[in-house]
Structure 1
Amino acid sequence: MPQVVACTGPRELTIANGVRIVPDAGLDGVPDVVCIPEIMLPPETLLEGRYAAEVDWLKRCHAEGAILATACSGALLLAESGLLQDEDATTHWAYCDVLRRYPGVRVHPHRALVIGGTGNRLVMAGGGTSWSDLALYLVARLAGIDEAMHLAKLFLIDWHAAGQLPFARLARTRQAEDAVIARCQTWIAEHYDEPSPVAALIKMSGLSERSFHRRFRKATGLSPMEYVHTLRLEEAKQILESERVPVDAIAEAVGYEDSAFFGRLFRRKVGLTPAQYRRRFGGLRKALTG
């Protein structure tokens, strides 16, 4: 059972927005990761020992190998613990002056994420929505980059810039209940790049062309060619995210002889050009890797 909430006092507390929290653990254990949220104090306020028990616990967790991750003003607790001395740090811009008062802390107010300390076990996110950078970094570090990329799309990170289209993804493992169509799905998942995939599917199904199209759409919600395009574009996205292959070579690799057609289709379906998609998500993958 993961330990996600801890307390030093009553076994139930009400936070500033009225939500009641029942802790699952106390400060007697040491988890693998400690996430320190925003501290609800005015920006000009010094902590001055008011979180002594928590600060001592953080020092013990760090000494025993835990990753300490903070969002917004939570970085002040790390500073209070002395763990940020001679370290880079960030926090919400309104708390930067307070953070600078701690000896040896190098404050970077414009950085969304700062990673440092022994073993890179001090991770700090700034203000605003930079908590999402923190979450993605932790997922990438603990569960893998591919999982972090999947979550970035699933939860529409950066969606406001270009809508939801760049993040849409076909669930390839969702097999149709129609056994004939399910068999076709399995085959096309590995052969989407063939020259005439729909004709091959019809032949494999043993159905008439009209019956096949009707049953395929009923089972998947897409026409056979739409389904093929979706698979091809999904594979193209993966290549754009992870490799520096030219766009025309990607088009050919996923089954399109005409790279201009591929570019127009990609823009229409994804909402970004291939180059724009690579800049956005290739950069994200590189950041998570680093």
Structure 2
Amino acid sequence: MSESPSLRVALLAVPDTTASTLMGLYDLLLSARRDWQMLMNRVEVAAPIEVLIVSRDGAPLRCANGVRVEPHAGFGDDPRPDVVVISDLMVPPWQPLGERYDPEAAWVRERYEAGATVASACSGAVLLARTGLLAGLEATSHWGYCEALQREHPDTRWQPDKALVTAGVGQRLLMAGSGTSWHALALFLIARYVGAEEAMQVARINLLDWSSSSPLAYAAMSRTAQLQDPLIARCQEWAAEHYRSEAPVATMAQMSGLAERTFQRRFVQATGLAPLEYVHTLRLEEAKQMLESTELAVEAIALEVGYQDASFFGRLFRRKLGLTPAQYRKRFGALARKLATAARTA
């Protein structure tokens, strides 16, 4: 059966693009309707989505990991997509993007103003934010980038705990959060522009879990290393071994020899966290490891990491990670055991 595609999607490629996400989006979007009909009904049908890889000049380029990509079009070819997707970028979160992709940002904004939907996958939000389209709106990106994005774009409300955010007039701005949330982005685009049933078919064929679980559950919470303040670093070293103690913040303040307010201020300046929040971070990171690798009851784990009140521990865990301890164990414990088995048998 021959049928003209009803939707044109442009995947924006730049030298910092990761090929896995770029080509993953390409394959998943092209599979809508086509693969289900082939597998279930033995019928060949055209995909309802035309997918183009678009770059600044249309010339071949090498992605971040050296994979050669040959775009279908450049900006000058005027591809006029209905949807523009910015794939993730392998750029350090602490280094501003600068002006090197301003032509891409201008083109994305131009296409949005012409009526296109604009989406970003994972750290691709760094480039999307550069367009200025997110000012005053809610947004998401990979959890490791949201803190830096909040500093650079304080007029945007960054939500690292959300896997998918839609924003703007007509909800024409779409952002997928951490890691493989681009799966959810592709499914959302298929559901919106092709149909919910076709999106579910793609999910079933590829065994994709369209889950609302918080990406923060994947985050390593102890992202607080610092070398600028040796005095606070000594307190951090102590806390890493003694976070289970009853009054770790008071002990660290005493160790520092500083007045309590001065200690609190210097600790926040050095780590970005208040001392008590830092201790919670260490305790919850240990709790995550125990939930993944042991069969201890949640109450026992709470005590083990320093919480006498298991209900408080449960509320704190859910607020920080978006899952209850039991939900976290169910989701990640089985995976950890499978990986451990695979490592033993390798």
Question: TM-score, with normalisation over the residues of structure 2?
Answer: 0.44
| Partner Cα separation in structure 2 for residue 142 and residue 8 of structure 1 | 26
Query: Is 2:63 aligned against 1:41?
Result: no
Identity of aligned residues (%): 47
In the TM superposition, what whole-angstrom CA distance separates every residue of 1:147-200 from its partner, at most 9, and x where no partner exists?
A: 0011111100139xxxxxxxxxxxxxxxxxxxxxxxxxxxxxxxxxxxxxxxxx
Counterpart pick for 2:167 among 110, 116, 120: 116
Does residue 1:60 correspond to 2:110, yes or no?
A: yes
Structure 1 residues 45 and 146: CA distance shift in structure 2, 3 A? same
Q: Name 1:126's counterpart in structure 2.
A: 177
Residue 94 of structure 1 pairs with residue 147 of structure 2: no
Matching residue of 2:252: none
Mapping for residues 154-173 of structure 1, pairs under 5 Å: 154-158=205-209
Partner of 1:25: 73
3-state SS of paired residue (2:130)? helix
SS in 2 for 1:6: strand
Give the structure 1 partner of residue 202 of structure 2. Answer: 151
Displacement of 1:45: 1.1
Q: Which amino acid aligns with 2:130?
A: E
Q: How many residues align?
A: 159
Q: Quick one: distance in 1 between partners of 2:128 and 2:157? A: 13
Separation (CA, whole Å) in 2 of partners of 1:82 and 1:46: 15
> How far is the alpha carbon of 1:103 from its aligned partner?
3.6
Per the alignment, residue 16 of structure 1 pairs with 64
Distance 1:130 1:3, change over 3 A: closer
Please report how far the alpha carbon of residue 54 of structure 1 lies from its aligned counterpart in structure 2 after TM superposition: 0.2
What is the CA distance between 1:3 and its match in structure 2?
Answer: 4.9
Is the contact between residue 113 and residue 134 of structure 1 (CA under 8 Å) also seen in structure 2? yes
Separation in structure 2 between the aligned mates of residue 10 and residue 39 of structure 1, nearest angstrom: 18
Q: Distance in 1 between matches of 2:156 and 2:64?
A: 29
Match of 2:189 among 128, 132, 138: 138
- Who is 1:51 aligned against? 101
CA distance in 2, matches of 1:3, 1:135: 12
**Equivalent in the alignment of 1:80:** 130
For 1:74 and 1:152, how far apart are their aligned partners in 2? Answer: 23
Question: Could you tell me how far apart the structure 2 residues matched to 1:146 and 1:34 are?
Answer: 23
Instruction: Give the secondary structure class of the aligned counterpart of 1:4.
Output: strand
Which secondary structure does the structure 2 equivalent of 1:158 belong to?
coil
The residue number in structure 1 matching 2:119 is 69
| Residues 204-283 of structure 1 aligned to structure 2 (within 5 Å) | none
Report whether the alignment pairs 1:5 with 2:56: no
Of stretches 97-106 and 58-67 in structure 1, the one that deviates more from structure 2 is 97-106
What residue ranges of structure 1 are gaps of 5+ in the alignment?
A: 160-290
Q: Where do 4+ consecutive residues of structure 1 move more than 6 Å?
A: none
Q: What is the distance in 1 between the residues matched to 2:64 and 2:129? A: 23
Q: Is the 8 A contact 1:3 1:31 kept in 2?
A: no
Following superposition of structure 1 onto structure 2, how do residues 174-185 of structure 1 map, counting pairs within 5 Å? Answer: none
Between the aligned partners of 1:10 and 1:138, the Cα distance in structure 2 is 24
SS at match of 2:52: coil
